[in-house]
Every structure is written in C-alpha cells, then in structure tokens.
Chain A
Amino acid sequence: MGDINTAMAEQYRNNFLKEVEANVEEGQWVKMCMQCGVCSGSCPLGPAWEHPPQEIFMMIRAGRREEVLKSESMWMCTSCYNCIVRCPRELPITHIMHGLANYAHRLGLAPKMNPTRRFAKMFWNNLTKSGRVNEIELSVGLYFMDGFKTGIARAWAMKDIGLGMLKTRRLNPFGFVSHKGCKDKKGIHRMLKKAREIEDRRKGFAA
C-alpha cells in the first residue's frame, strides 16, 4: 500500500488537484467549488469535521495532499445528501467525500483506527461474502473488533437493544449458520473480482 502511495505522489508531483481528478470518484468537480460554505453549514455532523467539505476543496487546490488524505473529516459523512441538494453549483459533494475517503483508504493513508472506516470495511466484507448482509454477524463483529474483553463490554451495553430485536423477531440468533445469502455466490465473487481489477487498472492501482 505504501508503495502505491509513493508512486501516486511521484506521478502527480505538486498537483494534488490533478491526482484527485484522475483517481477520486467525481473528483473532476472539485475545481467547480466556489467556497460558499453551504455544504459545511448543511452537514448534520458539521461540527465534527476537522476540515468541513468547503475547506477540503480548498485544501485540495492548495495541494495539501497528506493533510487531506490523512484527515478523519471525510469519515464523518453520514450520506444524508444535504450538501448535494443545497450546493448552488450542484457538485456531487457526498460522492466526492466518499471518493476521497475510499482513495485515502486504498492508499493506506486513512486513519487506521477511525471507527467508520473499520465498520465500512467490515460491512462490505460481510455483504460480499454471501451477496446479502448477515446482520447478526455484522453486529457481533462490530462489538468484538477490538478483542474479546471490550467485545463483552460492548455487547453487554447493547444487550437491551439486542434482546428487543430478538423478541420482535428482527434478528436471527442462528444467523451465523443459517444465513443463506444469494444462490450464485461464486458468480458474485467472480464479478466483484473482475470489477476490482478493472477499477485498479483504470486508476493505476494495478501492479
């Protein structure tokens, strides 16, 4: 991962905007930002962003590569799409933030312990395993991601919610073994492998 990061930094030397335009989902829109700040004011988690979206756009243009990619900021996005519908220039801001977070994650620069990064990775691996989300495996996996002891504490804190879900038959206690998922799991796995290959080739991630 570190190698890809170095290669990218070399390839786009001193031009982080170009790098974002080439490699980040909807990155070609970044230069259209007019710095009005409506996105930052509209974000439900706005105060939690170290650098709100408007600032991120400016930092990209100023070439502050490491600061942007190592930031926790984009990981605060709840995908509420408020910024998209309010942006006067109609920038797909939500997707750009997702794209930046994904790019930072692929380069190995995203903050390792950021809980949303870790949850998102767990979520994708969960859903692609069988083609459909296995909810019990996902929740238990989340509680125990920092080891057994913290896992027990977390599960205990969540026990009322878990019991409520079980009682109302909205959680499958046997989901670890009985979750079926899609029939054509193999096909889905092949398809995703191919998609990843194509994307890596296009974005220059391939070795």
Chain B
Amino acid sequence: MARKEYSFYPGCSSERLTSASNYMVSVEAMCKKLDVKLNEIPDWNCCGASIGYAEGGELPRHVMNARNLAISEQANKGQDVVATCAACWLGAKETKDRLAHDADLLAETNEALREAGMNLQYKGEQEVRHMVEVLIEDLGYDELKKPVVKPLEGIKFAGYVGCQTNRPFGIAGESFENPKYLDRLIEIVGGEPVEKYDQKVTCCGGALAFSEPEKSQAQIKKIIESAYDHGADMIVTPCPVCQMNVEVYQGQINKRYGTKFNIPVTYYSQLMTVAYGGSAKEAGLNGQIIRARRLEEIAAKGAR
C-alpha cells in the first residue's frame, strides 16, 4: 500500500496532448518516487477556471466544481482531494468555501446536481488541497529530501509562484507577498534559489494572454527580466498557466521589445523528478519548448 493516497483532480490542461501534459508526466513520476498514490476522480469535469465567470455566472460555476467533489466523495471516500493545477485547486476550493458559508447556495447546488444523475449529492466531506500543500504538509521537507540522488548543483532557479497558487488561499504559514516554499523546494533538490527574485508573485495576465496579449506580455516581460537580472538559469513554477504564458510568448516579446529572452520555464515536479533520479522523459522535459538543457544533462548522467 502506498504511503499516502489522495483523490486526484488532474484538470483539462493535464490530459494527453494538452498544454500542461508535461506537468502531469512529471507529477506521476514524482509521486511514484515518493510512494504517493493518486486516485483519479472518475469522469471529472472542468472547474470553469476564473475566466468562466462571464458566461458561466455564479451557480453554474459552483455546480461544475461540486460535481467533481460529489463524485470524489462517492468514489474516493475518506481521501483529500488534490489538484495539481492552480485554477482547478482554486475553483474547487472556492466552491467548497462558498457552499460551507451559504446554505441557500448549497441547496441550489444540490438541486442542480440531482440532474447530473449518478445520485450525486455534495456534502463537503473532503478537503481540497494543492499538490504542493500535500508535499510540504503531509510529507514535509525532510521526507522530500530523502530520495534526492542527483542534486541540481550549480543551477540557479527563479521561483515564480504566480497568483492562484498563492492568492487568495495560499499555502498555510506563507505570506502572500513573499512566499518562501518554492525556494525551499529548490534548495531541497540541491538547486540555488534566487532569493531576491522580486517578481515571484507578479501576475502573468492569466487568460488575458489570449484576449489582451499586449497587456499580458508587458507583465510577462517583467517576470522574465527580473529572473535574468538576478542571474537565474531557469524559472520554476507550480502553475500550468504561468508556465505556458511565461514560456511560449518569449519569441513575441523579443519581437515587440527587442529583447533576447530564451529562458526555460519548468515545474517544481520536473526538478524533483530529475533530482530523484528520473529520466528526462519521466520528468516531461521533452515537453519544454525552450529546452531545459541543464536539467537534461543531469538526468542523462548515471545516479551518483
């Protein structure tokens, strides 16, 4: 039996051939190394993300999240729900939070849920947590250090926490303005965190990268510039939207601003997988548009 077991909500961008499929690959490898079992919520649906508000409104959004949580209560009894995506985690947690404080909304939610079949009823029995919470709180930094066989020595990482893993809920005990957990995780895998990375909680523009590209890319430029200014070799983040926005628009930003950005943007789970002795493929490094060569080199070396 696995050391820990969770009810897993992977989310749309973690599916095969989607924008964060490499995140998912590395999460699977990381969890295997840590002996953590993830039980996928059967037939889970989209959380609606933040941008869903405009057409989705209030109740339909909560109902979408409540469906996932209600299925989880049935199928994965007694387990906490864990999400790897910042938006999924936020959406599900927001719904849980709102329904816990609003009896009318809860009743309406369950009225709509009955239409979904499967005899679904949302009770609010399970906690909704982010993968990094599970790593830090349930396993702890010491346990996370134990499987490290290939410390990521000599690599300087800008820990870009972003918005939705950090606000409004965040990780217990961390500040909204200067959370430190990502830097700790970088240290644990033997890397060097950029301590004074001043853009670690700056917004990348989120979904507005699609609809307001100029405004969004001005944000992304700040995030990348500061990483370079502080000597970072790569950026690391816990959020699929942050990862994508900060990685894929570098070419367009270079055109717009005459910069020469070409910095890899990775996930914490990729760092951990490589440090734990996983291959480049297991770490999903073939999913980087801007290759993380230094990580690939370490992954290619025999375990010490």
Listed in ascending order, the chain A residues whose CB lies under 8 Å from chain B are: 25, 44-45, 48, 76, 78-82, 84-86, 94, 98-99, 101-102, 105-106, 115-121, 123-125, 127-128, 131-133, 135, 139, 142, 160-161, 164-165, 167-172, 175, 182-184, 187-188, 190-196, 198-199, 202
Kindly count the residue-residue contacts between A and B in the assembled complex, taking CB atoms under 8 Å apart.
Answer: 211
- Complex: A198 Cα to B115 Cα, angstroms: 12
Do residues A120 and B17 form an inter-chain contact, with CB atoms below 8 A? no
The 9 A-B residue pairs with the shortest CB-CB distance in the complex, in nearest-first order: A79-B50, A120-B54, A124-B55, A81-B167, A172-B17, A80-B203, A98-B53, A133-B12, A115-B211
- Complex: A99 Cα to B208 Cα, angstroms: 17
Q: Would you mind naming 16 contact pairs between A and B with Cβ atoms under 8 Å apart?
A: A45-B205, A45-B215, A78-B207, A78-B216, A79-B207, A85-B176, A98-B53, A98-B54, A99-B53, A124-B52, A125-B55, A161-B252, A170-B287, A172-B17, A187-B115, A191-B67
> Counting CB contacts under 8 A, is B84 at the interface?
no
> When the two chains form the complex, which single residue of A119, A165, A167, A198 contacts B207, counting CB atoms closer than 8 Å?
A119
Known: A128-B56, A198-B59. 10 other contacts (CB 8 A): A25-B58, A44-B205, A45-B215, A120-B51, A121-B54, A127-B52, A182-B43, A184-B43, A195-B109, A198-B112
- Complex: A132 Cα to B41 Cα, angstroms: 14
Do residues A191 and B115 form an inter-chain contact, with CB atoms below 8 A? yes
> Counting CB contacts under 8 A, is B48 at the interface?
yes
> When the two chains form the complex, which single residue of B19, B109, B114, B286 contacts A165, counting CB atoms closer than 8 Å?
B19
Residues of chain A within 8 A (CB-CB) of B289 are 164-165, 167-168
> When the two chains form the complex, which single residue of B12, B13, B53, B207 contacts A101, counting CB atoms closer than 8 Å?
B53
Do residues B164 and A79 form an inter-chain contact, with CB atoms below 8 A? yes
Residues of chain B within 8 A (CB-CB) of A135 are 12-13, 18-19
- Complex: A116 Cα to B215 Cα, angstroms: 12
Min CB–CB distance B207 → chain A (angstroms): 7
> When the two chains form the complex, which single residue of A48, A98, A182, A192 contacts B63, counting CB atoms closer than 8 Å?
A192
> Counting CB contacts under 8 A, is B251 at the interface?
yes
Residues of chain A within 8 A (CB-CB) of B46 are 127-128, 131-133
- Complex: A128 Cα to B116 Cα, angstroms: 13
Residues of chain B within 8 A (CB-CB) of A105 are 54-55
Known A123-B49, A196-B60: A80·B286 in contact at CB below 8 Å: no
Min CB–CB distance B69 → chain A (angstroms): 13
> When the two chains form the complex, which single residue of B58, B113, B203 contacts A78, counting CB atoms closer than 8 Å?
B203
Do residues B12 and A191 form an inter-chain contact, with CB atoms below 8 A? no
Chain B residue nearest in CB terms to A121: B55
